[in-house]
Amino acid sequence: MRILIVNPSSYIYGGAERVIVNLANYLSSHDIDNTLLTTNINSNIESKLINTEIMISSLEKSPHAEMMSLHKSVKQIEHRFDVINPHNYPAEMSIWGCKKPVVWQCNEPILGIKNDYQSLLMKLSNTLNLMFDRIVIKKYVDEVIVADLFNADRFTKIYNKIPKIIHYGIDVDDFNANRSVDYESFNMIQVGMIQPFKNQLESLKIVNTLKEDIPNIKLTLVGWALPTYKHILDEYIKLNNLQEYVTFIQHIDGHEMKKLYLSHDLLLHPIHSQGGWLTPFEALCTELPIIVSKEFTASGIIKQNDIGIVSDSNNYVKDILEIYNNRKESYIKAKRGKVWVNENLSWNRYCEQMLNVFNKVTNG
């Protein structure tokens, strides 16, 4: 079997890129030829791939142009492969006209999400893209993979097609650690690209409300920043005199991330329903208590297994105060989360299930 993995430009080694690296390396370890087709690749990602052929299509600035570039390359080389496996938008649209089976790893159906920060022209463009996207998915995609029930329900509503749920894996060996607790500090951390969907503004509002009740409160925001949104955050910090409470750190690798988790007391994850799937589970591997939004797509997993707090904008402050005043109980819950992640979210399990899907579509 030969697998063609298709993904748009990758500038950072984020969650979606970890999915691709782990899947590709699993395929290679099982003597399954695999190729990554992309328009750009981060050197960190390239160095982690083992025996994966890398093909670079022409780098384009807009999603539409990138999709067309990937489409041209897919059509030129699809005859070499048994399965086409697109990942992030707009890779799934690049497979229109494909004659080979297609398995789409839909990390997030972003076209179905409203974004109040978009211009009218961008909203119109997204509407047209979604119309084309639906046609391509209906006609050319054999199987769709999503990470959880939330995304499965959302996908079905958008595309009128039922996907298969396969949970991602976690790099447990990279993050597993025993925590030594410091009750003198209360350092909160939020991890993820600084942009509206990640909702860092909510975290700043939490700090502003709690700074009198928790004098030693601090917040670290980790991730590359969208300039327009970063400006909004900077203005809020300035207006509310939060400079001494907030620190920004650009995207860092897993080893440094582990050290940051261990130096903090709570993971804040007030994100909207897009992305950020791996972060809370990685944090739990370091026994770091977590609080996530109800919109977070894996919030059902966290609530069902009682391994963190699921909250919302009406309750974040109350719930964080409860965590602060009952630190021992929150660390017990985080340790339980670590055990659950180690037992249930392995990359081997994810990759085995993906390979089963590849075999299914090739065998008819």
CATH number at residue 58: 3.40.50.2000
pLDDT of residue 112: 45
> Tens digits of per-residue pLDDT, 256-296?
899 999 999 999 999 987 778 999 999 999 999 999 999 99
| Residues 186, 287 share a domain | yes
| Residues 206, 275 share a domain | yes
User: CA–CA separation, 331 vs 329, rounded Å?
Assistant: 5
Q: Are 222 and 249 in contact (CB under 8 A)?
A: yes
Average pLDDT, the chain: 91
Q: What is the mean pLDDT of residues 302-315?
A: 96
Specify the pTM.
0.81
| Residues 189, 318 share a domain | yes
| Residues 148, 194 share a domain | no
| Residues 227, 103 share a domain | no
| Residues 43, 33 share a domain | yes
User: CA–CA separation, 112 vs 362, rounded Å?
Assistant: 30
Query: Domain range spanning residue 295?
Result: 172-344
| Residues 178, 127 share a domain | no
- Partnered with residue 247 across adjacent β-strands are 220
Report how many domains make up the chain: 2
| Residues 351, 261 share a domain | no
> Tens digits of per-residue pLDDT, 77-122?
999 999 999 998 889 999 999 999 999 999 877 654 445 555 676 6
Neighbour count for residue 188 (Cβ, 10 Å):
26
| Residues 150, 296 share a domain | no
If you search the block for the tokens 């590709």, which residue do you land on?
24
| Residues 250, 163 share a domain | no
| Residues 308, 222 share a domain | yes
Q: Is the pLDDT of residue 171 over 70?
A: yes
User: 120: number of CA atoms within 13 Å, CB side?
Assistant: 0
If you search the block for the tokens 């994810």, which residue do you land on?
350
User: CA–CA separation, 131 vs 128, rounded Å?
Assistant: 5
Q: Are 2 and 21 in contact (CB under 8 A)?
A: no
Q: Collapse the DSSP code of 238 into the 3-class scheme (helix H, G, I; strand E, B; otherwise coil) and give the result.
A: helix
SS3 content of the chain, % helix, strand, coil (to 5): 50, 15, 35
Q: Is the pLDDT of residue 305 over 70?
A: yes
User: CA–CA separation, 244 vs 239, rounded Å?
Assistant: 13
| Residues 279, 351 share a domain | no
